[in-house]
A = this chain, B = another copy of it.
Amino acid sequence: MLTKENANRYCRQAITLYNNANIILTEAEKKKIEIADFGLGEFAKTGLSVLVYVNTDRCCAKELAMLPRQTCPEHRHPRIDGINPGKEETFRCRWGKMYLHVPGLKTKSPKAMPPHGREDAYTVWHEIELNPGEQYTLAPDTLHWFQSGPEGAVVSEFSTRSLDERDVFTDRQISRITKVAK
């Protein structure tokens, strides 16, 4: 589990990344940055920082910050009957570089590789490189994972309602809900 000390340190690193991207946050927002480590306890390898700007029943906007070569593990946003036909999302790179992986033709010389020791939990290999100003829209229920480049990344996410707790991860060891030791 994340210690409070580490969570605070990662939060400060996320704020530095947002500063790099010239994204202005209020003091209240800086305090609610989520350090998502997916329960694996190796945040710098598998994790990302998330700031939710707005998340209503209908739409959502977030700002994501990633340390260098950090990976958001493979997952999909399934249909939830009666609530949501599955989250649709657009990633827009604001700073740094992001390698997004989706189903499709395997990229021959990919720039990103799954975190060492966790390769079995990665199954889609079509790589899309997103540089600042570039974006990609994912249909609902599409498997995807992404990794930042050597400097890290700041990425805006525009989407339908976000229901993180319902995300389906390929890695069965993952728990999406962040837990920080008290």
Which A residues fall within an 8 A CB radius of B? 21-26, 29, 53-54, 56, 58-61, 88, 90, 92, 94, 132-135, 137, 156, 158-160
The smallest beta-carbon distance between A17 and chain B, in angstroms, is: 14
Q: Is the CB of A88 within 8 A of B56?
A: yes
Q: How far is the CA of A133 from the CA of B135 in the complex (A)?
A: 22
Q: Is the CB of B90 within 8 A of A158?
A: no
Q: Is the CB of B61 within 8 A of A61?
A: yes
Q: Give the residues in chain B near A23, CB-CB below 8 Å.
A: 94
Q: Give the residues in chain B near A58, CB-CB below 8 Å.
A: 58-59, 88, 160
Q: Give the residues in chain B near A90, CB-CB below 8 Å.
A: 53-54, 61
**Given A58-B88, A88-B58, A88-B59; A158-B53 close (CB under 8 Å):** yes
Q: Is the CB of B92 within 8 A of A59?
A: no
Q: Give the residues in chain B near A61, CB-CB below 8 Å.
A: 61, 90, 92, 156, 158
**Given A59-B159, A158-B53, A159-B59; A134-B26 close (CB under 8 Å):** yes
Q: Is the CB of B160 within 8 A of A158?
A: no
Q: How far is the CA of A56 from the CA of B90 in the complex (A)?
A: 10
* A61, A90, A156, most chain B CB atoms within 10 A: A61
Q: Is the CB of A24 within 8 A of B160?
A: no
Q: Give the residues in chain B near A21, CB-CB below 8 Å.
A: 22
Q: How far is the CA of A121 from the CA of B59 in the complex (A)?
A: 30
